[in-house]
Amino acid sequence: MMRGVFAAVALSSLMTGAAGADDARPYSPVTQARLENPEPRNWLMFRRTFDANGYSPLEKIHTRNVKKLAPAWTFATGLREGHQSPPIVNDGVMFITTPHNHVIALDARTGEQLWRYERELPEDLMQLHPTNRGVALWGERVYMATVDAFLVALDARTGEVVWEQQIEDYTHGYYSTLAPLAVKGKILVGVSGGEMGIRGFVAAFDAESGELAWKTHTIPAPGEPGSDTWPGDTWKTGGVPVWVTGAYDPALGLTYWGAGNGGPWTGDTRPGDNLYSNSTLALDVETGRIVAHHQYHWNDSWDWDEVSTPLLIDYARGGKTIHGLVHPGRNGFLWFLERAKDRIRFVDAQPFVRNDVITKLDPVTGRPDYDLSKKPAVGKPATFCPSLSGGKNWPPAVFSPKTRLLYIPANDNLCATLNPEPATYTPGQIYTGVELMIGSETIDFVLHPEAKDHIGELQAWRVDEKPQQVWEHTFKQHLWGPLLVTGGNLVFAGGTNDRAFRAFDARTGKVLWEQRTSSGVVGVPTTYEVDGVQYVAVLSGWGVDAERIQGALNAKLPKSEQVSVPQGGVLWVFALEK
């Protein structure tokens, strides 16, 4: 079913608990200046700042008093599945999103619900990833990208729909789960659906009118630079989705996005480098033109989609400052690049988890060589490390300018076997060449012997001069926790199947505090301040990939080590006890 291209009012949605226009509380408009220099008290976008560092300078909660952290209030969303949204806060007003595309506005001090928008989704919609990763703010509006591939603009004061715009046709496999990025009056989004033969892209819409400003595909069409890396018509259905919110460098006017893997999953079906799969793309924010790229690995055959946004970090090499891009990759390598107006330059890289596929990197370009015995193809199964879930999946890493350390939520000692089959393209249907069920005849996990010790790792890396791991905290099973780091020298993370949310000493990795929550924490934690009180907020709500990987691990583990994590979304907000 095709939806209207531009509708002034979304009749297929519900909005509850909204205040009328006259009695709505004051709201601080969000401007480009505020997004470029956000007040320490606020968290205005997915990673708080355009550099995607995930760092807050707030320091009232610190290493010496964090043990006094206690729940201030909670809010049950009433929904199941993976709750991955960061609580976005603008001067005391909080916005969260949930699976099935609800947007909820709350009083950030008390938890009082101000309004709730519920999108009515098409009955024939197949949700591979029933989740949402948050909103963007611009002016007096709130923006959400939806799983039926729409961009919705809401009135921040009331929750009323201002406009909605179709991003693409969901019946052809397109959907969106990321938080949009607001830049200079445009709302930028990417599309998921790489498992269903889409052709990925990043698009920008006018924040005021909803009109399309530009659209840049992640697979070049015939005649465009890089099109010769896709044989035949494979470019039409080659995937390369965009799962995670991009970063932005105001000085260069460039926005950086991670692009996913090609489809079907194994590279023998699409011989060539397959640009711009598994790459970071630098786009001109005004036009969408691809200015530069770096491809982390070519002709992917392992589902290592490099969708995570690189962190914009200036680091030192040889006594000089490099304006950098730092990317802990799903392929298990930690990449250091240089960003400039017209290029992305490879600097260096090294593995941060076990990788038995990449045998070496070109010292100038960073292009990897492969052990071809580890490269699966149709009729040629192969086992490889890290697994298809990667050394690091989508949960964001963070960087602290105080400690000069990069913190990575990693998984090690987990490998996989792929035994792909020929794939036939049908619009809107799975087009991977493997069954999307771990433990099937085409896809399975393999535990490395050292998995007896641990799989999950929270790692801290020094970024300057010669990168080096400084500390590591391990977890018996996998880690799916997005990170937050603060001026109080604390790293916050959930992501484990024991339902815990923890605070670590950012300098040593020592656990200083933890709270058992209602479900597993796969939400992005944030921190903010209202009336002089610092809060830490995170959604607890296990689901999507974390739950699926848990099921696969349970099948490999003795019954005594199997874990079942309860579902159900609850927002937890913490403050220091008085």
**Per-residue DSSP letters for 210-254?**
--EEEEEESSPPTTSTTGGGS-TTGGGS-B----S--EEETTTTE
Distance of alpha carbon 135 from the chain centroid: 13
CA distances from 355 to 312, 362, 368, 448, 457 (A): 25, 16, 12, 12, 15
Give catalytic status of residue 303 as yes or no: yes
CA distance 50 to 59: 21
Element (H, E) at 358: strand 358-361
CA distance 459 to 470: 8
Largest Cα span, the chain? 67
Closest residue by Cα to residue 421 from 266, 198, 239: 266
148, 303, 444, 545: the active-site residue:
303
Reading the block at residue 84, the tokens are 């991955």
Question: Quick check: 141 and 151 in contact, CB under 8 A?
Answer: no
Reading the block at residue 540, the tokens are 């607890």
**Per-residue DSSP letters for 395-434?**
SPPEEETTTTEEEEEEE-SEEEEE--------TTS--SSS
Cβ atoms < 10 Å from Cβ of 261: 30
CA distance 407 to 409: 7
Active site residues: 303
